[in-house]
Amino acid sequence: MSTPEQDLIDQSLLFEVIENQLADGEPAFVKATLLRLCMTGHSREDALELMACALAPEMLAVIEQAQKFNLARYQQHLELLPQTPWLGEE
């Protein structure tokens, strides 16, 4: 699953950030999201791709608009997964 945001940001960077968050255990809601998605039938790879869709808009805001990373919005996007209404597709 590729989004316009992910086309502007290297997908491997998004995966690296998520894997680092998982390894560090911070923020805790990242691991909770991965577990929830996997327990509801998504493969780990699919879950990470969905999570990258939640991370991409935040990374884009930091890189292109010099905004501070919005942790609360990132958490909200993760909580909505597997739905991605912020992409305007639903």
Q: What is the pLDDT of residue 31?
A: 97
| Kind plus residue range of the DSSP H or E element containing 16 | helix 11-24
- Span 16-75, pLDDT tens digits: 999 999 999 999 999 999 999 999 999 999 999 999 999 999 999 998 889 999 999 999
pLDDT-derived band at 90 (thresholds 50, 70, 90) equals very low
Whose tokens are 């992409």? That residue is 87
CA atoms within 13 A on the CB side of 1: 18
pLDDT greater than 80 at residue 2: no
